[in-house]
Amino acid sequence: MPGQMCWLPVLEPDGEKVLHLRSHPSQSWRPYTCSPEYAVPDYLIAEGSKGWATYQKLKCSGWTLVPSPVTQEPTLLQAK
């Protein structure tokens, strides 16, 4: 079964939103950079969305986009 995707902030509640993934609804959300088996390199576009290329790939593979929750703990974005 394909996983789920969500755009969540990093570092602070109003911070930049990046793509987060989970392969099963019972798992915690993780930044896409923590899932090298799914992530693809970001487009080289100034101020582009972090994870957009990965989102497009996974959407075509049947992954579901889940609406961002109103309150969500920010995560730390880990380097690739």
How many angstroms separate the CA atoms of 76 and 17, rounded? Answer: 11
**13 phi, psi to nearest 5 deg:** -55, -35
Those residues with Cβ within 8 angstroms of residue 52's Cβ, 6 or more apart along the chain or in another chain: 19, 42, 43
In a 3-state reduction of DSSP, which class is residue 56?
helix
Which tokens go with 23? 């392969």
pLDDT in tens, 40-66: 999 998 888 899 999 999 999 999 999
pTM above 0.75, yes or no: yes
